Structure 1
C-alpha cells in the first residue's frame, strides 16, 4: 500500500477486476522466453511453519494405496479451446486457428489501445470448497508485445462480487510457447465462485495466444486450528482471559470423511508435563475450551493432532501460550475482544497513511481528529516527539527482520505499534512474513504488530505472523459499477477468520486515478462515511485511512481542504463515538427489519442504547426497527428525532446513507 505501489484496478467494462498482485507484474523481459518482474509466487499455499505433516496413514476402512491415490491432484477443468466456449469471447478475445499448441485452435487476446484494460475470464465450477488448494497453468505465446506482457491468474469472489483472494503469475513476452503456472492457492472460506482470468498487463499492447489451460485441485491440509482466545500472541492476560478457546476444522481428502479421524488436543507446561488432554471424534468443526484460572503462571504449549482411528498422526500443530503475572502485562496490547488497551485505557486507533511526515502534516491530521499516523518513511525523533506532544500515536513501519529499529524506537512514548506487512501474503510467503513478526515479538513485548493485505487471510495462517490485521478493498472509482459494500464483505470475512482479533480495515480516501487505475474521482463525503461505518458495523476495532498524501495531490484536482474536510466530518464522529463502538454490550431487544441492503449493529454504553444502520445500496431505503421504551430515538449528527408508532420506529435512508440512533434507557 506504499504510495509508490500499484493499487487494485478494474476492467473498463466492470466485469473482471484484476487485483494488485496482477498489477505489480511488469518490467523488461528477462530473455525472450522469460517472465517479467518478480511476481511468480512459489510454494504451496497450504503450508505453514507451525504445521507438521507426517506421511499420511490410511483412514480406517481405506488401504494405504487408496489413501495415496486420494492425495493425487485432480484436474477439475481443462480446455485446449477447441469447443468455442462463448465465456472466453469478448471484444478483445477470439478463437484463432492460425496458432495452436495442441489441436487446431487457441484463444487470442489482442490489445491495440494501451488505455484499455479488459480481461478474459470464466467461472470455474467446483472450486470453492473452503481451504482447498487450486492451481492454474496455461501455455502462452505472444507477438508484437510492447510495454508489458501476457499473464494468467485465478481469483475468488464472494456472492456480492467482492474479491476475496487470488493467485498470480509473472507476465511473458515470449514469442514461443511458454507455460505460466499459478502455484496452489487455497480457496477462501465464503467464496461463491472462482474465475480463471487471462489478461495483458496494464499499458501493454500486442497479441497473446493461450492454449491448454488446466485447473488442478489438490488435497487440502487436513487440520486447521485457530485460537479465538487468547488471540494476542498466545498471552493469557490477567483480568482479560478466563479460558482457552480453540476453533478446529478438519478438511479430509475427497475419498475420506471427517469421521474417519480423531482430533487430540494436549496442553503441556514448560517442563513438558501434561496439564490437560481431550480427544474428539472427527467432525468438520470442533471447539476446545479450557478454564485458565487454576493454571500456574508461565509458558505452555497447545498441541493439536489429527489422527487416524488407530492413533497414527496425520497432521499436527503446536501453539505457544503463556499465562502472565500481573506485573508482566504489556503497556499496550490487544484484549480478548480485539480492542487496543493503551497505557491502561481502551483506545480506538483512527489512523492515516502518510509519506514523509512533517509538522504541518501532523497539524492537518490533528485538525481532522485522527489519532494515529502511519509514515512510510522513517520518522525522525523530532516528528515522533511532535506526534506525542499532540496526543497522537505512531504506527512505525518495520518491514524487515532486523531488530535494530525495534530496539531503537520501542520505548518512544508515541509508539502504538509496528506496521510490518504491506500486502505480502501470509500463506505463500510465510518465510518472509514470520521473521518480521518475530523480530518485534522477541524484542518488544509492549506494542502490537499490524498487517494489511488486499486478500482475506485464513485464520491459522494469520495467527503468529501478525497481531492486528486489515484489508483494503478500495471500491470507489466514481463509476456506476462501484460496489461500496465490499468494505463490509471484506471486514466480515476477516472477522470470521480471526474471531476476537484486532481488525483495522483500510478506508479509501484517495482517487484511484492517482495510480492510473481508471479512477474518475476520489470518494465523496457520503461514500467515505458509508465505508467507515460499514467496517464498524461489521466489527472493526480500529480504522486506517489511505492516504493523506493522496488527497493533498488529487489527480482530478479536487482541493486538499475539501477532501481533508470530508475526512474530518467522518473521523470526528467516529472518534466521538469510539467509547460506544468499543463497548462489548449489545442490545438484543433492538430488532431491525430484514433487508439485504441494510447492515446494522447495536451497543449499550452507560445509560444509552445505540443502533448503527448502514445502507449498502445507492438507492434510498427505509428502515424499521423495534426497541425497548417509548421515547423518541435521537438521530445523531442530524438534529432530529423519530417517534415510536405502533411499537416500531420507521425512518428513511438516502442512497449509501448512515443513521446513528441513540435511545435513553428508562
Structure 2
C-alpha cells in the first residue's frame, strides 16, 4: 500500500511538507494479549495469582475461540469464547496452585484456521525475589519497595540507620572479586540494604563496551557466569545493565544482554539508565526498571545552570515515552559537584545546596519516581552539607514518608493558584488510610505564594521537618514558598 502524509503548522495551517512511501501491511487473523501474569509472563511465588487473564482479538469474521492451558501433553484448563472482529474477547483460566514449570496458553479459532500461543512460567520460591506488581510497583518478597539510596556506596551502618535501603555499583567486581563480593553482599543483607550490580566481568566500563560495539558470545557467557555466581544472594535487587550507553549499536546490544541476564536469573529485574527521559525510554525493551539522571549543574556563587524543572521534564518524558509497557521508574538526582574531578570546572561549579537537593528529590517523586537513587555517595561525602543533610535530615524525613510512598493512593485534582500568577507549584497528594499527604515544590528562583486546593481538603496539617502547622480555610491551604523551596504537608 502507498501511505501519504502532510505536515502542517498547527497554528497557521500552513503546509510545510508532503511525502509518501510504500509499506507492507500484515494483519494477523488472531492476536493474543496476556494480561495476567503481567510481568515477564511469569508467576512469582511471592506474588501469586489465581487466574490467568488474556484477551483475544480476531480479524476478518466472527469466530468461536478455544482457549487451553497445558503443561506438556496434559490439558489443565479449557474455555470457549465468542469473538467479534476487532473487539477483544476475555479469556480467564484458573492458575491457583500451579506447580513450578512452563505452561502453554493457546488460543485458536474453532475451525483451526488460526492460533496463537504464549509460554507462561511459574517460578519456585526464592528468598529476595523481585518483581513488578500490576501497577508497576517494585515488590521484594511480595512487599512494596521504594528504592532510596546511592550509587558508589558501600553498605554502612550510618546509611542504614538513616533509612537508606539501596546501593548501586558498576565497579563491584573490580573492587571485591569473588570472596570479598560475597562478604559485601552479606553486609548488605545484614543491614537491610539491597544491591544492584553490573553483571559484567570487565567487558563494560562507563558508557561503552571497552573493546567493541557488539558483545561476543564469549562475553555474553561471561555475563551469564557472573549472574550465576550471585543471583541466589538475597541482597540482590537487580542487574544494572548500562550507564548512559553511547552509540546506537551498543544501545541495541542491551536487549541481548537483558535476554541473557533474565534467562539466567528470572527472579530479578534488569535496570537501565540514561541522562534524558527520551533516552531511557528508548531502552525500555532492555530493562524493567528505567532510571534517569538529569543533572541541572550548579554555578559557583550562582543559581542552577539548567532549570530545576529539568528533573521533572525528564521524569515526564521517560514515563510518557514508555507508553503502555509495564515499567518501574527511578530518578537519579545530582548529589555531587561537577568540579570534583578538577580542571576548570573546579573554579566554576558547586554542589547543590541541601534545599536544592531536597527539591530535586521531591520534584522526582511528584512526577512519578518510584525510587530515588542518587549519584553519588562517594562525592556527597566531599560536601559535608550534603552528606550530613542526607544522614540527619532528608534520610529520616523520607523514612517517615515511606508508608505513603510505598502504599499511598494518588489523590487527583490537586491544584494551586500562585502569586505571581506566572509562577508554578508542582503538586502530588497521597492518601493512606485517613491520612492525606501533600508534596509541593517551587522549582523557580523567586518566592511564590500559593493557595492549594484538593478534594476534601480540611483541617490542620503538620509541615514535615519545619516544626509548624498550617490550617485550611474554606478548603484552601495557603502558604509561601522560598526560591527552590519544598513543603510536605501531612494531615493531623
Q: What residue is the counterpart of 1:659 in the other structure?
A: 487
Query: Contact 2:148 / 2:372 at 8 angstroms: preserved in 1?
Result: yes
- The SS at the match of 2:409 is coil
Cα deviation, residue 433, structure 1: 0.9
- Report whether the alignment pairs 1:404 with 2:225: yes
Distance in structure 2 (CA, Å) of the matches to 1:605 and 1:591: 19
Cα deviation, residue 561, structure 1: 2.6
- Report whether the alignment pairs 1:574 with 2:381: no
- Report whether the alignment pairs 1:618 with 2:442: no
- Please identify, of 581-590 and 465-474, the stretch whose mean Cα deviation from structure 2 is larger: 581-590
- Report whether the alignment pairs 1:639 with 2:467: yes
Q: Closer, same or farther in 2 for the Cα pair 1:422/1:480, shift >3 Å?
A: closer
Distance in structure 1 (CA, Å) of the matches to 2:82 and 2:9: 36
Cα deviation, residue 127, structure 1: 12
- The SS at the match of 2:156 is helix
Aligned positions of 1:314-463 closer than 5 A: 322=120, 324=122, 331-354=129-152, 362-366=156-160, 368-377=162-171, 378=173, 379=176, 380-399=181-200, 401=220, 402-424=223-245, 429=250, 431-456=252-277, 462-463=283-284
- The SS at the match of 1:403 is helix
- The SS at the match of 1:582 is helix
- The SS at the match of 2:273 is strand
Q: Closer, same or farther in 2 for the Cα pair 1:329/1:321, shift >3 Å?
A: farther
**Among candidates 388, 399, 419, match of residue 565 of structure 1:** 388
Aligned positions of 1:419-568 closer than 5 A: 419-424=240-245, 429=250, 431-456=252-277, 462-478=283-299, 479=303, 481-496=305-320, 497-498=322-323, 500-514=326-340, 518=345, 520-552=349-381, 559-568=382-391
Distance in structure 2 (CA, Å) of the matches to 1:463 and 1:275: 35
RMSD, aligned α-carbons:
4.8
Q: What residue is the counterpart of 2:209 in the other structure?
A: none
Cα deviation, residue 468, structure 1: 0.7
Query: Contact 2:355 / 2:484 at 8 angstroms: preserved in 1?
Result: yes
Distance in structure 2 (CA, Å) of the matches to 1:565 and 1:654: 22
- The SS at the match of 2:379 is helix
Q: Closer, same or farther in 2 for the Cα pair 1:424/1:321, shift >3 Å?
A: farther
- Please identify, of 457-466 and 469-478, the stretch whose mean Cα deviation from structure 2 is larger: 457-466
Q: Closer, same or farther in 2 for the Cα pair 1:389/1:574, shift >3 Å?
A: same
Unaligned runs of 5+ in 1: 1-57, 59-65, 77-124, 129-215, 249-260, 282-286, 304-317, 553-558
Query: Contact 1:398 / 1:405 at 8 angstroms: preserved in 2?
Result: yes
Unaligned runs of 5+ in 2: 11-18, 108-115, 201-218
Distance in structure 2 (CA, Å) of the matches to 1:221 and 1:548: 52
Query: Which structure has more RCO (C-alpha within 8 Å, separation ≥ 6)?
Result: 1
Q: Closer, same or farther in 2 for the Cα pair 1:319/1:234, shift >3 Å?
A: farther
Q: Closer, same or farther in 2 for the Cα pair 1:244/1:477, shift >3 Å?
A: farther
Summarize deviations over 1:308-346 as a string: whole Å, max 9, x none. Answer: xxxxxxxxxx99562648969983222122222212322
Distance in structure 2 (CA, Å) of the matches to 1:369 and 1:636: 16
Distance in structure 1 (CA, Å) of the matches to 2:8 and 2:374: 37
Q: Closer, same or farther in 2 for the Cα pair 1:660/1:280, shift >3 Å?
A: farther
Q: Closer, same or farther in 2 for the Cα pair 1:243/1:485, shift >3 Å?
A: farther
Query: Contact 1:512 / 1:520 at 8 angstroms: preserved in 2?
Result: yes
Aligned positions of 1:65-76 closer than 5 A: 66=2
Query: Contact 1:529 / 1:658 at 8 angstroms: preserved in 2?
Result: yes
Q: Closer, same or farther in 2 for the Cα pair 1:432/1:619, shift >3 Å?
A: same
The structure carrying a bigger helix percent of its residues is 2
Q: Give the TM-score normalised by the residue count of structure 1.
A: 0.54
Aligned positions of 1:171-182 closer than 5 A: none
Distance in structure 2 (CA, Å) of the matches to 1:245 and 1:127: 41
Q: Closer, same or farther in 2 for the Cα pair 1:406/1:618, shift >3 Å?
A: same
Distance in structure 2 (CA, Å) of the matches to 1:344 and 1:507: 27
Q: Closer, same or farther in 2 for the Cα pair 1:329/1:618, shift >3 Å?
A: same
Q: Closer, same or farther in 2 for the Cα pair 1:528/1:289, shift >3 Å?
A: farther
Distance in structure 2 (CA, Å) of the matches to 1:217 and 1:548: 52
Distance in structure 2 (CA, Å) of the matches to 1:220 and 1:427: 24
Cα deviation, residue 232, structure 1: 2.6
Cα deviation, residue 382, structure 1: 1.9
Distance in structure 2 (CA, Å) of the matches to 1:459 and 1:321: 28
Distance in structure 2 (CA, Å) of the matches to 1:634 and 1:424: 43
Q: Closer, same or farther in 2 for the Cα pair 1:485/1:405, shift >3 Å?
A: same
Summarize deviations over 1:516-542 as a string: whole Å, max 9, x none. Answer: 695611111111111111111112111
Q: Closer, same or farther in 2 for the Cα pair 1:329/1:384, shift >3 Å?
A: closer
Summarize deviations over 1:539-561 as a string: whole Å, max 9, x none. Answer: 21111100122234xxxxxx433
Q: What residue is the counterpart of 2:113 in the other structure?
A: none
Q: Give the TM-score normalised by the residue count of structure 2.
A: 0.71
Summarize deviations over 1:225-257 as a string: whole Å, max 9, x none. Answer: 9988755323355556978689x9xxxxxxxxx
